[in-house]
Amino acid sequence: MVSVGHVPVLIDEVVTMLAPTPGSLQIDGTVGAGGHAERILEATDPDGRLLGLDADGAAIARVRDRLSPRFGDRLRLRQANFRDLARIAPSEGFGAVDGCFLDLGLSSHQLADTDRGFGFRAGGPLDMRFDVTRGVPAAELLASLDAQALAALFRRYGEEPFAGRIARAIVEARTAASVRTAEELAGLIERVVPSRAPGRRRVHPATRVFQALRIAVNEELEALSDGLTGALDLLRPGGRLAVLSYHSLEDRIVKRFFQAERRGCVCPPEAPVCVCGRSPRLRLVTPRGVVPGEEELAVNPRARSARLRVAERLAA
């Protein structure tokens, strides 16, 4: 494992808009390296508490070592996916909370992890699971899916324009040997994708495929939908839900969820009166979302695709 520092994205904006107060109960559903959790706990001094979840056991261990000596029993940590918030939070004493934060990006620690192959620069075996005790490693997907299924996966989760070409190259390559490492996959993609394809000058040509595999392996989009519903159900009136996303697939899910809960009624437009009985449950705090400024991007270029959306729970 490479030792690396992690820079929290939009941390001032997150804390300002989440608006944690002394004595409040907060949830960080993707505690990662603990940067956001630390600032939220500081804002809730002296008696606020935070529940931190992460599917990655290594992340939980790092945060426990770094923050538990300082915050003691004000910090609760559980290795779990935030899709299980509705079940786990009440069992930890967080059945009704004042704020919930989800950061959907990878931490620098994960990108530098040479054992799981999250990033093509660090390399390593193509595992990509947050929780290595569950699910199927990325290398197994590459070894077992046919070209049509691989192409569909790259298009759906990576919006990859050269999905078919890359999928066929992977299937052809594995007739000699399976693609097992991040270096092998990145090198293969570099060989088959045009180097100056539109929209690719700022990013490595393997970026979208790596994103697609990671999303598929961890069922990230399904988990996000479950997690948003669970978080909203846990919020007290006036409580806030803040979500940091890093690509259009995630942001679209968050945006549509917020908009649906802001509208409430799901009756068809032609209905003369509402018969569904659904009331709005959210007020948008950031109608257009918040993105990093030039100053932050100069320090942390990885934040360039981040977008923060925040909404406030209305009274039932």
Segments in the chain below pLDDT 50: 1-4, 200-201
| In a shared domain, residues 99 and 226 | yes
Give pLDDT, residue 260. 94
Give pLDDT, residue 114. 63
| In a shared domain, residues 81 and 120 | no
On average, the pLDDT of the chain sits at: 90
Give pLDDT, residue 197. 53
How many domains does one find in the chain?
2
Give 199-223 pLDDT, tens digit per residue.
544 678 999 999 999 999 999 999 9
End-of-domain residue from the set 184, 218, 252: 218
| In a shared domain, residues 141 and 64 | no
Give 54-64 pLDDT, tens digit per residue.
999 999 999 99
| In a shared domain, residues 105 and 239 | yes
As to burial, measured by CB atoms within 10 angstroms (0-12 exposed, 13-18 middle, 19+ buried), residue 154 is buried
End-of-domain residue from the set 195, 218, 241: 218
| In a shared domain, residues 225 and 86 | yes
Structure tokens at 183: 């270096």
Give pLDDT, residue 166. 97
End-of-domain residue from the set 170, 189, 218: 218
Give pLDDT, residue 232. 97
Give pLDDT, residue 264. 86
Of the candidates 72, 68, 1, which has an alpha carbon nearest to the alpha carbon of residue 34? 68
Residue 174, domain member (yes or no): yes
Q: Which domain holds residue 270?
A: 11-109+220-313
Q: Using CA atoms, how far apart are residues 200 and 83, in angstroms rounded to an integer?
A: 33
Q: Using CA atoms, how far apart are residues 151 and 197, in angstroms rounded to an integer?
A: 18
Q: How do strand 97-103 and strand 25-28 relate by DSSP bridges? A: parallel
Give pLDDT, residue 311. 98
| In a shared domain, residues 104 and 252 | yes
Of the candidates 26, 72, 68, which has an alpha carbon nearest to the alpha carbon of residue 51? 26
| In a shared domain, residues 101 and 225 | yes
| In a shared domain, residues 224 and 93 | yes
